[in-house]
A and B are shown apart, each in its own frame.
Chain A
Amino acid sequence: MDKKIFTLICLLAFCYFNTAFAQKTGIGTRNPVASSTMHIDGAKNNATAPAATKNNDDVVVMADGKLGIGTITPVTRVDLRSNDQKGIIGLGTNTGQTAVQAGAGAIRYSNILPGVLEYSDGEKWIPLPQVPPIKALVLANNKTLQIIADNNTSQYVTGWLAVKNDPDVDPGGFTPGIPNFNLLNGTFTAPRDAFYIVSFNITLATANIPNNSRFETIIESNTSTNNIQAFKSVNSYPGFNTPVPNNIVSGNCNAIFNLKAGNTIRFRVYHTLGGNRNTSIANLGVDNSISIYEL
């Protein structure tokens, strides 16, 4: 009898200390998991179910604030990864809050676009992408003979031959269904607010290159807002008391523009070669080329 009493006293003491110091709450279970603050056993089966499945119906709040549903070992703030592979979230629409009110990081099932999840970046609801974003891409050559006058600052290269200039089909884009690059007048129109990386090569057909002449390859946009409006690349031909050579002249320029939808890019040449010069129409037009791609 003494032994039994001693055992009981020990048990009571253990229970008391356990409760007083660990401060764990168990609902549906008498054995809340270690380092939990609250342990709810949904099916009240922790004592009877096999170990592999008994926690699938459990919800725990750990001492560090992590919430586990279907798991008693959450490693993220909310952890739904359970052995029964049913650990998913059911999200609904959110018609009562703006993206600003819901705040950055909020996720909803769209009430506007069918079958799409959207998240807030703190400013707007953004659909999660289902296809890669549409990006403008233009590749073109030029074999249209064009006469470039001496010392003239407004001569743009026109009459391009498309290698790649697909219509932009973005429903929110600029002039849907029309290619972004106008081949005839050589003007590219930005379909979206974006950065555009541009390259331009141009060749003038063989002619005199007088001493101390120069040639400039120029890519221009029509905006200076948070943007460098023009990029100029200079080729110089110094000469002094030397015979005037007869050869092709060519140049290359690369540019990066920060454009708003509707802004434009054009390609220009400038020279001081002392008279009219023809653009090269040799080599099927590859003497002259441009590339534009949207970042």
Chain B
Amino acid sequence: MKIIRNGIYCLLHTFVIAIFLTATTVMAQTAGIGTRTPAATNNTEVVTTAGNIIIDNTGKMGVLVANPLVALDFRSGTNQSVAIGMTNQTAAQAGAGALRYNPTPAIGVKGYLEYSDGTKWIGYFPYGKPHIVVMAEKTTQDVYIFEPGAIPTIGPQTNGMPQRTSAYLTNWTEKLDSDSGTPTNTFDPSTGEFIAPRDGVYFATFTFALQANYIKSWLATNANQTEAIWEVRDASGTIKQRVKTSNGYPSDTGSAYNTSGGTLISGSVCTVSVFMVKGDKLRPFSWISLADNEFNYAASSRPFDTTGGYNVLTIVEQ
């Protein structure tokens, strides 16, 4: 029993010495990967075919740099750049001084650098901040009646603006839907609806004009009028804001029954700056009261003038 005990003791003694020696070795030597003779000034050296990646005794890392001057030094050879990517960390999580590459467009560029000041990401925009720009021209006679008026039925119509009935202007020809010049998808030309991709102030203008026709509302209470309206709804569809331009006409043109009557192009323009939060919807609609037939409003819808420039919309993020 005593022999066994002594034996174990001796074995343990050897272990203890071995551990001590190992520890001493680790503490004293520099580590080399791919080399047996790392420099004494370096803590760690990793050999590559292009040169060494080293960590010196002050903790500075040199990537193919023998004597790093800063925490991370790339300055030697031909390709001395660094590449960074995007993070979904908040500016607070990443902390002040963090740098990321945001791969979304700004004016003139496909992506831009941002740094954190500890609370927010701040972008470097070489040619200007990001801007959504939408341009469309109306080349169809399609509208969508959404509030019954003289026309009692909600739904699409294909023969221009109905009388005394609120209708969205639909089926546009999209000319541009871009984020800072890069194609995006904020505008639906079939519905005429724009959905804000981010919070911001959006400057929007649309024009509409109707083909020449008689301007004559027969009832004295139905004044001649054309209205252009921008409407903002939130993501759930609740109306947040409507901005209206109304053109009132103090007289008639006469009618087909008057030999001295004449026809005339009519329309309105609405220009707004609206604040929208991400997901809000912006859509143009019109309302007109120009009918020459008090008995059959449905037959007296007014086609749009699609000869160019009269029915256009643009939306720009400020």
Contact = CB atoms under 8 A, between A and B. Distances in A.
B263 interface: yes
Interface in B95-152: 95, 97-98, 101, 103, 107-113, 124-128, 131, 133, 135-137
Given A87-B71, A133-B127, A238-B224, A233 B269 contact: yes
Given A126-B126, A129-B124, A238-B264, A86 B308 contact: no
Given A91-B82, A94-B78, A240-B254, A59 B110 contact: no
Contacts of A231: 205, 207, 309, 312
A57 interface: yes
Contacts of A43: 43, 57-59
Q: How large is the interface on A (under 10, 10 to 19, 20 to 34, 35 or more residues)?
A: 35 or more
Nearest to A294: B128
A205 interface: no
A228 B71 contact: no
A172 to B, nearest CB: 11
Contact of A236 (B43, B264, B312): B264
Interface residues of B, number: 100
Interface centre among B16, B69, B70, B203 (most CB of A within 10 A): B70
Interface in A31-45: 40-44
Contact of B57 (A42, A92, A103): A42
Given A69-B59, A254-B269, A295 B128 contact: yes
Contacts, number: 280
B23 interface: yes
A234 B107 contact: no
Contacts of A126: 109, 126
Given A86-B71, A194-B107, A295-B128, 15 more contacts: A12-B15, A69-B71, A76-B98, A77-B85, A97-B79, A107-B83, A121-B109, A226-B175, A233-B207, A235-B247, A236-B215, A240-B252, A240-B258, A240-B260, A241-B260
A181 interface: no
Interface string A88-128: 11111111110000111111110000000001011100111
